[in-house]
Homo-oligomer: A and B are copies of this chain.
Amino acid sequence: MDIHELTRALYIKNESKIVLVVADGLGGLPARKGGPTELEAACTPNLDKLAQENVCGLMTPILPGITPGSGPGHLGLFGYDPLVYRIGRGALEALGIDFDLGSDDVAIRGNFCTVDDTGVLTDRRAGRIPTETCKRLVEKLRKAAVSGVDLFVEPGREHRFVVVLRGDGLGGDVADTDPQVTGTPPLAPQPRDAASSRTAEAAADFIRQAREILESEHPANMVTLRGFAKRPPIPSMKDVYGLSACAIAVYPMYRGLARLVGMDVVPAGATLAEQFESLRKHWDSYDFFFIHFKYTDSTGEDGDFDAKVRRIEELDGLIPRVMEPNPAVLIVTGDHSTPSALKSHSWHPVPVLLASASCRPDGAAKFGESDCLTGGLGRFEAKYLLPQALAHAERLAKFGA
């Protein structure tokens, strides 16, 4: 059962506004057994007041035990089943550098690497060359041209870059050329279906030219390509939820994910305060606002419990700003947990707070994982967050008579 079949049939348009604040990697773990999590340790009077007066719960991003990457994590929050809508590596990389990927483009993750005189791989990451070197080499690679195809090469960080092939009849299913081990030459790009044979040829042509262009460079004297992928076909939020949506995100990856579901990307500035200013500025133009806050995740990834606490407190301090224009529904949650104890994304369920006029009271006295356990939203899969937001915004009609 595709929930979009329901929402497409039932959505209603009105003047209500929905604001989704995503504190990336919000869920956490105690620094030691029995202690508070980062969210519980943080002093969050504004979020706590909202939790008391509204409804909380815990979200399973994908399925129990499954740790999501940022792509699937956000698709769930936007109301798309992350197990149905899969984003290939190359496409995600292109989104991550703000590349406006067309529906027929093939995006590819490139690595600079080192090969010896016989063409055998000796370093799959070319000694992790500085980002500045990467930019210079990408500039050189842009001299490559493939007949009948528009070729884009964009630098990433260190040894990483992105290639986009644009043209008719390019399938997206080509095997990686990175053999994942050294001591063997890079593989030739092999199409995995008939529709991708032109793509494989174009990629082979690009690799040949790259080898020549980089011949005198060291250590980055060759490239590998992997994660060939087209932009997945995803219906827009307008289509499935009747929502005119906008994204206010500082980092390109999240703007890219928002674009995938048809959101407009508006200027975000560089800080949460500036993002909330942008929210006010665009208030009248959209129904739905996605505001992304990165630093709860990056501090978790750093394993810095206290820094994550401070970032949560920074968010809490700005909550009154987001309430000022009086949204019909405010949601504060994460796309996954990033416990500083694990220094990585995790599978733990994610605390969620939903504030609206139609919340049924629950036992949550503050916004934290333990209180969310007693929350009225219970435990639910992330893909059901958006239908609940629509409901609280009175944007969904009755199912059946």
* B-side contacts of A391, CB under 8 Å: 65-67, 346-347
A362 to B358, Cβ gap below 8 A? no
Complex contact A68–B388 (CB within 8 A): no
A318 within 8 A of B: no
Bound together, the chains give a CA A7 to CA B363 distance in angstroms of 35
Known interface pairs A37-B360, A348-B360, A363-B373. Does A380 touch B64 (Cβ–Cβ under 8 Å)? yes
**A369: chain B residues within 8 A (beta carbon):** 360-361, 376
Would you call A10 and B360 a contact (CB within 8 A)?
no
Q: Across the interface, do B378 and A29 meet the contact criterion of CB distance under 8 Å? A: no
A64 touches which of B64, B93, B387 (Cβ 8 Å): B387
| B401 and A66 contacting across the interface, CB-CB below 8 Å | no
User: Is B370 a contact partner of A373 (Cβ separation < 8 A)?
Assistant: no
Measured CB to CB, the closest approach of chain B to A360, in angstroms, equals 6
- Report if A58 contacts B (CB, 8 A): yes
- Interface bits A347-390 vs B (CB < 8 Å: 1, else 0): 11100000000111111000001100110101110001011111
A53 contacts chain B at the CB level, 8 A cutoff = yes
For A63, list chain B residues within 8 Å (CB). Answer: 3, 6, 384, 387
- Could you tell me if A29 and B360 are in contact, using CB atoms closer than 8 angstroms? yes
A180 to chain B, nearest CB (A): 14
Determine the chain B residues whose CB is within 8 A of the CB of A58 once the complex forms: 378
B388 to A347, Cβ gap below 8 A? yes
| Given known A63-B3, A370-B363, A384-B63, contact A347–B396 (CB-CB < 8 A) | yes
Given contacts A71-B401, A387-B64, contact A342 B370 (CB under 8 A): no
Which of A82-90, A151-159, A284-292, A303-311 contacts its partner? A82-90
Residue in B71, B87, B399 whose beta carbon sits within 8 Å of that of A67 in the complex = B399
A374 contacts across to B, CB distance below 8 A: 363, 373-374
Q: Judge if A242 is at the interface, Cβ distance under 8 Å.
A: no
Does A72 sit within 8 A of B, measured CB to CB?
yes
Residue pair B83, A398 in contact (C-beta under 8 Å)? no
Partner of A361, one of B3, B34, B62, B396: B34
Copy tally for this chain in the complex stands at 2
Contact A398 B68 (CB under 8 A): yes
Report the separation of the CA atoms of residues A10 and B397 in the bound assembly, to the nearest whole angstrom: 37
The one of B29, B64, B344, B361 in contact with A30, judged by C-beta atoms closer than 8 angstroms, is B361
Q: Is A281 an interface residue (CB 8 A)?
A: no
Please measure, in the bound complex, the distance between the C-alpha atom of A128 and the C-alpha atom of B89, giving whole angstroms.
60
Determine how close the nearest CB of chain B comes to the CB of A110; give it in whole angstroms. 15
Given A53-B33, A347-B391: A6 touches B66 (CB 8 Å cut-off): yes
A92 within 8 A of B: yes
Cα-based distance from A374 to B30 in the complex (angstroms): 18
A195 to B16, CA, bound (A): 43
Q: Are B65 and A387 in contact (CB under 8 A)?
A: yes
Complex Cα gap A380–B66 (Å): 14
CB distance A87 to B388 under 8 Å?
no
Contact with B along A320-356 (1 / 0, CB 8 A): 0000000000000000000101101111110000000
Does A70 make an interface contact (CB < 8 A)?
yes
Of the A-B pairs whose beta carbons lie under 8 Å apart in the complex, a sample of 7, sorted by A's number, is A1-B84, A29-B358, A65-B387, A68-B398, A68-B399, A93-B401, A363-B374
In the complex, the 8 A-B pairs of residues with the closest C-beta atoms, listed nearest first: A65-B387, A69-B400, A64-B384, A65-B388, A72-B400, A65-B391, A378-B379, A347-B391
Task: Kindly list 15 other residue pairs between chains A and B, CB separation below 8 angstroms, not including A378-B378, A379-B379.
Answer: A29-B358, A30-B360, A35-B361, A58-B378, A62-B399, A63-B384, A65-B389, A65-B391, A67-B396, A72-B399, A92-B401, A342-B358, A362-B373, A363-B370, A378-B379
**A-side interface residues toward B, CB under 8 Å?**
1, 3, 6, 10, 29-30, 33-35, 37, 53, 58, 62-73, 82-84, 86-87, 89, 92-93, 339, 341-342, 344-349, 358-363, 369-370, 373-374, 376, 378-380, 384, 386-391, 396-401
